[in-house]
Amino acid sequence: MNDRTQSALVRLTRELVRLPGIGQKTAQRLAFHLMKVDKDEALRLAQAIQDVKERVTFCVQCRNMTESTLCEICQDPKRDRTKILVVEEPSTLHAIEHSKAFNGLYHVLFGALSPLEGVGPSDIRAHELENRVKAGGIEEVIIATNPTIEGEATAIYLTKLLRPYGVRVSRIAYGIPVGMDIEYADEVTLLKSIEGRRECP
């Protein structure tokens, strides 16, 4: 291996290792793999990365990822336009979409509030959400922030912000994962699931 090929390989490894969840060993294996496969196959990856960066932007309404001004969900006439589900990250949106459990619209915050660490309402575009509610037609806002301190703070803030507009503000239920034995749940999860109980229909 001459110096130039080595440095290209090292450079690729160095880029891969910066991706979330990829360690030095995995990065090396991926880099060697990409070196061995057909040029076309490897370049498809490069092209896909380039396309994502050049074409994908954020939906002007919900900040989901999209290749046009409005995302597919916001454009879809079959979605229930009276409900907005609020998530911290696009990955949560995709998990909920995949479950087909929700047929309304979304709002992606890209973060959560932190009373001390300088993440305030403008950083999570809370007022864009307020404006959507203010514009009318929304009956319910469902908050699906993470059950962490920051997620709780965000939920409290958004509830206070949106209630005055007469919309129903709810939070998704937090508790025992389906398929798990209740006895193995930690105390906080148990507490949350008892707090979040509901009457049997």
Should residue 25 be labelled a site residue for another protein when binding is judged by CB under 8 A?
A: no
* CA atoms lying within 13 Å on the CB side of residue 187: 0
Residue closer to another protein, measured from CB, 139 or 152: 152
For the CB of residue 120, give the shortest distance to another protein in the complex, in Å.
6
For the CB of residue 25, give the shortest distance to Zn ion in the complex, in Å.
39
What residues from 143 to 182 belong to the interface with another protein (CB under 8 A)?
147-149, 152-153, 156-157, 160, 177, 180
Select the binding partner of residue 59 from another protein, Zn ion, none (C-beta < 5 to 8 A, by kind): Zn ion
CA–centroid distance for 70 within its chain: 17
The site string for another protein over 36-75 (x = CB under 8 A, - otherwise) reads: ----------------------------------------
Contact residues for 165 (Cβ-Cβ < 8 A; gap 6+) = 130, 133, 134, 138
Should residue 21 be labelled a site residue for another protein when binding is judged by CB under 8 A?
A: yes
For the CB of residue 103, give the shortest distance to another protein in the complex, in Å.
24
> How many of the chain's residues bind another protein (CB under 8 A)?
26
Should residue 191 be labelled a site residue for another protein when binding is judged by CB under 8 A?
A: yes
Which residues would be at the binding site for another protein (CB under 8 A)?
A: 20-21, 113, 115-116, 118, 120-121, 147-149, 152-153, 156-157, 160, 177, 180, 184-189, 191-192
